[in-house]
Structure 1
Amino acid sequence: MFLKRIELLRNEIPSYKNYPLSIPAIRNLHQLDIHHNVTFFVGENGTGKSTLLEAIADKCGFNTAGGGRNNEYYVHASESSLSEYIRLAWLPKVSNGFFLRAESFNQFASHIDEIASEYPSIYDAYGGNSLHEQSHGESFLSLFSNRFRGKAIYLLDEPEAALSPQMQLSFMKIIHDLTSTNNCQFIIVTHSPILLGYPGATIYSFDYGKIQEIEYEMTDHYQITKYFLQNREKMLKAIFEEPDEI
């Protein structure tokens, strides 16, 4: 494991009035300790989990539009305004890795195609073909299976966006293989109750205005999914007919 701690440089912040420092979970952050090779950030939309992950990526020197250190292309609104106010503690420091933004993966695939027009061998790191010539889920797994290697940190923002439940299980196997044999570290923002079930991972919730560790069975993702599967008709009736009782 490489990244050990994330610290908000509170003494250097002039004001918490503007976004993203106005986000309650970010505003209340002092330091976040990383205990395991796999860490999940969870919470409702807008709670700051992707914002913090992007700031970590920027501090690592990765392209905040998605990619590694050598992927230079631009996506509007991909710059992190939080990174100048955080400090990362490493032991040891690594420079290898990748930042995945599911929402801008199409632009990343086009970026790889541009490079391949001069250096076709770059496709070897992505399954041998253009990512655009694969289904969305297949292109994600091609990235994970071929591009990801040992002694690196991988920051993934909602990787389940393109993955079926079966593919999510395949992705968990990739995580297991990389962390158990190749000394890799993952920090993952997710809404997937499947991925969150990865054994031994730390889960940090960004809900209720602060970042705090939470057990898998206590996440909304687990509890709501479990309740829905066990009480589908009752829950659907509540949603459609009696919304105040949900």
Structure 2
Amino acid sequence: MEQRFVMKCGGSTLAALPNSFFAELKELQQSGVRPVIVHGGGPAISDTLGKLGIETEFVNGLRKTNDDVLDVVEMVLAGRINKEIVRKIQQNGAKALGLSGVDGKLIQAKPVANADDIGFVGDVTDVNAAVIEGVMGMGYIPVIAPIGIDDAAQRYNINADTAAGAVASHLGVERMIVVTDVPGILKTVDGEKQVLPTVTVEEIEAMIASGEIYGGMIPKVRAAIQCIQGRVSEVVIVKGDEPGVLTRAVLEGGVGTRIVR
């Protein structure tokens, strides 16, 4: 079977990546590997909401989403950021097609359990993998914005990590790559910080409890854990600006931190 992988990346992380990263994406695509990108864009959404004077708040790490916020979420994710990524890929010689979860009912969703507190935030119920397969079959890299839709045509704001995990699972991909601005999960050994090559979900929870994983790293690893669902059995956290990082993560291993069930 052809090699394929799903890559999750924050919008701000992707925008900051060097051209060499996208050149590598092109090389992988030309060698027959089929990438799928699912992106976020939290900071850009917050920034735009601020400029428009729309208040925003978070409940347990998820953005409270009313109709006004939802309009901005869709505008920023499916509009600005999605097209920015597509432009950057095309600028570097690869072919990309931007989609949101609304297109072709790509990401079907239902309200999360605490929807009364949090509004139009969704959990993924199904992924129309045939649309993604079709886009890949035409030789394009699908670039997916995590907006969901239900049968009544209601839109939902979906956490990008949750969406990426669901897309990977429905495509039958076992390994997901999470591109961040850190080289992996760090552990201090003899006073020196070292990247952990492999770590289990249980070990991560223990490291959060003991304070070894702290600050901004907590949401990153929790997000990576959210990607482990369905058929996805491992997630690799890598730093996007390391040379050859994608090829190593996809084909060779030995880069970043592998989080396994």
TM-score, length of structure 1 as denominator length: 0.30
Bigger Rg, structure 1 or 2: 1
RCO (CA 8 Å, sep 6+): is it higher in 1 or 2?
1
TM-score, length of structure 2 as denominator length: 0.29
